[in-house]
Each structure stands twice: as structure tokens, then as C-alpha cells.
């Protein structure tokens, strides 16, 4: 399998709030992709973290009687805790207040300045503290940003500017030459339209507050939070040391996964900064959609925010991980409801996958003492199912390259369905007396298919998959995809089966 390095990033989450389902969704998607790449045997760097500068944090800290650093220390820990509880396999957790990041951000500024793309001027315009973003007159209505609904205020202050206007044609040429750089296609078209409408130079410093990275050579200014924040993707590979092992290994092999609301920063500003600094651009940007709850937009005013930690407590971690990745095509908006969650838990997990595992392993334990029979002789039906299982890996590898996360799970569940239909058709429970050898072959085929399914589900449901592989006595070194087309030896003693996916039962039901 390919040994090409894989570098995947979540956005660094702005800490002025508690983590919600959107944060968990992005992080879980990246976790699924990172775990999958590791199973392929690829070198992987998976990074998440927190964005901690900006006026919003400075104001909130003051309101709460804390220093800005005390404030962000407390809130950043919430996001680290979410990673731990969600069993996220990140390799690094970046904080923009770390010395390594301040060094990288200042080096980026110096690279932009040395290349002649920064000049000093005066900013006059609309600014949203909540979004940490500037807006044009055409993007404002009734004192609010149209896109986010956040209030804006008129700001006038000295500011350094980045010559973004000089990069319109360069960006359009790059997009045209790299049509898969921005995914999905609808977001690509959105960015093209924005850039074609004309780019204005970007204000990249502030002087009215001091909670940020000081501008090199002019400490009356601090860096605009987005220039600071975007540089984190380089900080994590050792920039500005371009000879660092991580930099040489993983840059520019980066896929940035972001919510669609911050696409412009990643698909327009970030490539322009990198071009101006003379640095290679990442492999791609993937913008996913938003979640609603029971058909309603999630907002503080409605009080319907979804706490992922609460979901794990109610439904189970692997169940929530599966639901979020399966329920909606990655890139589109999705809706969370209790009904949909229970439908996936009881249908896909308990009835389909869980029941397949439990009835095969329980029957094998009862009839053969859990000793695996030989995988022979094979009939045409056996071979057909084994072949379907064998070609599943290249199918899902191809889909993962496109971040087709829900499609990967659909493919795997097509194999689950095929295995369930096979066992119903073969009826091994009626063969113990009449044809015990045939019964053994059927069970061996099913165990082999279950093993492969469990290998494939590791990236999304690591705990449940590990339980299944444990029951099959699969060694740790045989849980990589390199072992996908091997077989367990006949005579292997399987462990006592346990129920991995329980059906949801309404606690209020009598």
C-alpha cells in the first residue's frame, strides 16, 4: 500500500465558548481519516487545537475578572478534554499562545513583509468582534453581517495591509489547475465566484487592543487573528525551520477540514499568504456542512445547542461516532434527532452488524467450542461472499481519498448485509447432524468476513471494532490493512462472545 505521508488538520477552534456538536463533527471526521491512513501504513500527522487571541477573548476575560491567558488556559482545556473523551487520535494539540506558534506567526509576517506584500495604512470599515472578521458594505444589513447574523461596528485605526488584491488572477489560475483543491464542488464554485468579484487588500493588524501576536518591528500593532491562526498549520510541522523532519515529511501534504463558514479564510486568504511567502500550498481544503437539531438551526438564543459529551453518555461513544459520519453525506448539512439516532443504533448497529457478529460467534462457540474450522472446501456462494469482502478494501480506500466518509460506511454495510443474507440462505444451524463439515465451512467464511468488516470499522468505531477483533483473537500486528487478505488459522480458539451493540430501549417506556 501507498506510503505517501498524510497530514490532516481540523480548524483550530476559537475558545470563547464550550465545544458543541460542530466541533466534535469536524474532529471525528479528521480522526476517521487519520486512523484510516495509519491502517494503510502511511506516516500520519493529525493536528487539532485552539485559537486563543483576538478581541472577543480579551473582552470576555475582562468581564470575568481574569487575565486573557488565564481565560484561554481554562477554555482550551475543554477542547482537549473533548478529544480525550471522544477517543480522538490526534498527534498534536496546537495552542496559538504557545511560544513555538508565536515564533512561526512572526516568521510568516516577516516573509510577507520581505516579499513586499505588506504596507502600513488606515483601516476604515465594518468589523464583527464575534466573527473576528471584516465585512464590506454589501455584506451588511440592519447593523449585522448577512452571512452570520453577528453585529458589526464601524472601526477606524492604523493598520498594516496585505496586498490581497494582487492575488486574484494567481488564485484563479491555481484553482483552475487544481480543480480538486476545494471540495465539495459547490464550495469550489462559491470560492471562484468570490475571487472573480474582485479582492480588496486585507487589514492584518490591530492597535486598539494588545491580546495577540506582536507585529515584528512594530509592537504597537498585533497581528490580525486570522493571519496568526492560519499559520498554525505550519507551526505544527516546525516552521520556520524548513529543514525540520516534520516539515520535510508533511508539508505540503496537508488536507484542511473546515466548516463552510470559514471557507473563505482557508481557500482564499491562506493560499494567498503562502504564495506571497514563497511557500507551497496544501493539498486541499474540504468544507463540510452544518448540523441542525430536529430541523431547527442550532443557536444560543434557541437554547438548542448539542453537547457531544452528553450524547456519548446517552447513546454511547461509538454509536455517536457512527451516526455523525453515516447520517449525512460529508460536505452537506445534516440534522440531528433522537429518532434518527435510535434508528441507526437499532438498525445498522444492533440488528445488522451486532446481530451478525453475535449469532455467528455464539453458534460457533456453542457447536464447536469456539474453535475455528477450516476455510474449505468452498462453494460458489462462499467464494462470491469472500470476493465481495476482498474487493471492499480498495473500494473504501478510493472513497476515503475523496473524503467520502458516509459512502465508506455505506459500502461496508453493503458487506454486512451480504453476510446476513448469506447466513440466512446457508442455514448452518440445520447442518450440525446432516453435514457438520459444511456447517464448519460456512462458519469459517462468516468469521473471515466479520474479521474484515471489523478491520474496516476500526477508524470510525475503534472500541467496538477492537472488541470484535479481540473475540476473534486477532493479534495487534494483524489489525493493519496489510493483513486484510490473510486468514485466521483453522484451530484458532476464539474467545467467549459478548454483545457489542445493544438495542436502544426508551428508558421512559413502561
Average pLDDT over residues 204-220: 95
Q: What's the Cα-to-Cα distance from 241 to each of 108, 116, 232, 245, 249, rounded to whole Å?
A: 12, 21, 14, 9, 13
CA nearest neighbour of 456 among 422, 408, 401: 408
Residue 312 has pLDDT above 60, yes or no: yes
Residue 316 has pLDDT above 80, yes or no: yes
Q: What is the pLDDT of residue 304?
A: 80
Q: Binning pLDDT at 50, 70 and 90, where does residue 129 land?
A: confident
pLDDT tens-digit readout, 411-426 = 999 999 999 999 999 9
Average pLDDT over residues 308-334: 96
Cell numbers describing residue 315: 447513546
Q: What is the pLDDT of residue 385?
A: 98
Q: What is the pLDDT of residue 473?
A: 97
Contacts of 258 (CB under 8 A, 6+ apart): 10, 11, 26, 266, 285, 286, 287, 288
| Strands 218-223 vs 214-215: parallel, antiparallel or unpaired | antiparallel
CB-count exposure of residue 91 (10 Å: 0-12, 13-18, 19+): middle
Other CB atoms within a 10 A radius of the CB of residue 18 amount to 13
Rounded Cα distance, 48 and 50, in Å: 7
Q: Binning pLDDT at 50, 70 and 90, where does residue 509 land?
A: low
Residue 152 has pLDDT above 50, yes or no: yes
Average pLDDT over residues 112-132: 92
Q: What is the pLDDT of residue 299?
A: 66
Q: What is the pLDDT of residue 149?
A: 87
Residue 335 has pLDDT above 80, yes or no: yes
pLDDT tens-digit readout, 259-288 = 999 999 999 999 999 999 999 999 999 999
Q: What is the pLDDT of residue 201?
A: 96
Q: Binning pLDDT at 50, 70 and 90, where does residue 510 land?
A: very low
Q: What is the pLDDT of residue 371?
A: 98
Element (H, E) at 17: none
Q: Binning pLDDT at 50, 70 and 90, where does residue 508 land?
A: low
- Percent of the chain clearing pLDDT 70 (strictly above): 98
Residue 79 has pLDDT above 90, yes or no: yes
Average pLDDT over residues 377-385: 98
Greater confidence (132 vs 349) lies with 349
Rounded Cα distance, 144 and 130, in Å: 11
Q: What is the pLDDT of residue 301?
A: 61
Contacts of 279 (CB under 8 A, 6+ apart): 111, 234, 251, 252
Q: Binning pLDDT at 50, 70 and 90, where does residue 3 land?
A: confident
Q: What is the pLDDT of residue 136?
A: 86
Taking the alpha carbons at both ends of the chain, their separation in whole angstroms is: 53
**Cell 448540523, residue located:** 291
Q: What's the Cα-to-Cα distance from 162 to each of 144, 263, 268, 421, rounded to whole Å?
A: 25, 19, 13, 61
Q: Binning pLDDT at 50, 70 and 90, where does residue 300 land?
A: low
pLDDT tens-digit readout, 339-363 = 999 999 999 999 999 999 999 999 9
Average pLDDT over residues 213-223: 96
Whether 36 contacts 73, CB under 8 Å: no
| Strands 153-162 vs 144-145: parallel, antiparallel or unpaired | unpaired
pLDDT tens-digit readout, 449-465 = 999 999 999 999 999 99
Cell numbers describing residue 153: 461596528
Average pLDDT over residues 34-58: 96
Rounded Cα distance, 71 and 304, in Å: 25
Average pLDDT over residues 23-32: 97
CA torsion, ordered 233, 237, 240, 245, to nearest 10 deg? -160
Amino acid at each position: 500500500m501507498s506510503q505517501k505521508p498524510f497530514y490532516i488538520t481540523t480548524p483550530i477552534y476559537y475558545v470563547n465558548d464550550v465545544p458543541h456538536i460542530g466541533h466534535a463533527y469536524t474532529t471525528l471526521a479528521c480522526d476517521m481519516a487519520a486512523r484510516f491512513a495509519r491502517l494503510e501504513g502511511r506516516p500520519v500527522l493529525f493536528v487539532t487545537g485552539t485559537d486563543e487571541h483576538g478581541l472577543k477573548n480579551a473582552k470576555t476575560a475582562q468581564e470575568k475578572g481574569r487575565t486573557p491567558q488565564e481565560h484561554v488556559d481554562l477554555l482550551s482545556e475543554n477542547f482537549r478534554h473533548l478529544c480525550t473523551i471522544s477517543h480522538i487520535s490526534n498527534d498534536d494539540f496546537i495552542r496559538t499562545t504557545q511560544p513555538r506558534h508565536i515564533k512561526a506567526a512572526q516568521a510568516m509576517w516577516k516573509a510577507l513583509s520581505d516579499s513586499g506584500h505588506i504596507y502600513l495604512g488606515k483601516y476604515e470599515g465594518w468589523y464583527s468582534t464575534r466573527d473576528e472578521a471584516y465585512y464590506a458594505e454589501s455584506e451588511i444589513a440592519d447593523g449585522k453581517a448577512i452571512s452570520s447574523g453577528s453585529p458589526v461596528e464601524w472601526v477606524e485605526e492604523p493598520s498594516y495591509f496585505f496586498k490581497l488584491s494582487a492575488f486574484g488572477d494567481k488564485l484563479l489560475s491555481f484553482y483552475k489547475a487544481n480543480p480538486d483543491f476545494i471540495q465539495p464542488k459547490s464550495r469550489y464554485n462559491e470560492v471562484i465566484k468570490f475571487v472573480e468579484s474582485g479582492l480588496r487588500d486585507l487589514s492584518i493588524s490591530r492597535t486598539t487592543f494588545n491580546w495577540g501576536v506582536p507585529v515584528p518591528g512594530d509592537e504597537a500593532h498585533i497581528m490580525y487573528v486570522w493571519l496568526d491562526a492560519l499559520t498554525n498549520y505550519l507551526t505544527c510541522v516546525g516552521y520556520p525551520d524548513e529543514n525540520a523532519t516534520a516539515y520535510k515529511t508533511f508539508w505540503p501534504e496537508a488536507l484542511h477540514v473546515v466548516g463552510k463558514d470559514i471557507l473563505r479564510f482557508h481557500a482564499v486568504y491562506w493560499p494567498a499568504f503562502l504564495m506571497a511567502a514563497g511557500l507551497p500550498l496544501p493539498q486541499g481544503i474540504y468544507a463540510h456542512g452544518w448540523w441542525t437539531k430536529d430541523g431547527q438551526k442550532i443557536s444560543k438564543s434557541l437554547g438548542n445547542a448539542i453537547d457531544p459529551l452528553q450524547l456519548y453518555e446517552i447513546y454511547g461513544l461509538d454509536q455517536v461516532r457512527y451516526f455523525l459520519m453515516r447520517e449525512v453525506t460529508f460536505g452537506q448539512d445534516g440534522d440531528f434527532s433522537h429518532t434518527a439516532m435510535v434508528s441507526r443504533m437499532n438498525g445498522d448497529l444492533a440488528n445488522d452488524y451486532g446481530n451478525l457478529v453475535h449469532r455467528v460467534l455464539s453458534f460457533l462457540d456453542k457447536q464447536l467450542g469456539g474453535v475455528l474450522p477450516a476455510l474449505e472446501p468452498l462453494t460458489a456462494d462462499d467464494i462470491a461472499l469472500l470476493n465481495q469482502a476482498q474487493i471492499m478494501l480498495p473500494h473504501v480506500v478510493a472513497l476515503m481519498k475523496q473524503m467520502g466518509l458516509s459512502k465508506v460506511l455505506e459500502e461496508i454495510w453493503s458487506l454486512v448485509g451480504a453476510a446476513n443474507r448469506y447466513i440466512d440462505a446457508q442455514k448452518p444451524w440445520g447442518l450440525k447432524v446432516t453435514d457438520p463439515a459444511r456447517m464448519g465451512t460456512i462458519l469459517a467464511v462468516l468469521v473471515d468476513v466479520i474479521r474484515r468488516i471489523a478491520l474496516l470499522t476500526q477508524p470510525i468505531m475503534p472500541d467496538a471494532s477492537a472488541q470484535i477483533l479481540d473475540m476473534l483473537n486477532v493479534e495487534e500486528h494483524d489489525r493493519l490493512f496489510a493483513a486484510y487478505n490473510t486468514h485466521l488459522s483453522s484451530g484458532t480458539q476464539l474467545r467467549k462472545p459478548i454483545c457489542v451493540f445493544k438495542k436502544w430501549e426508551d428508558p421512559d417506556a413502561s
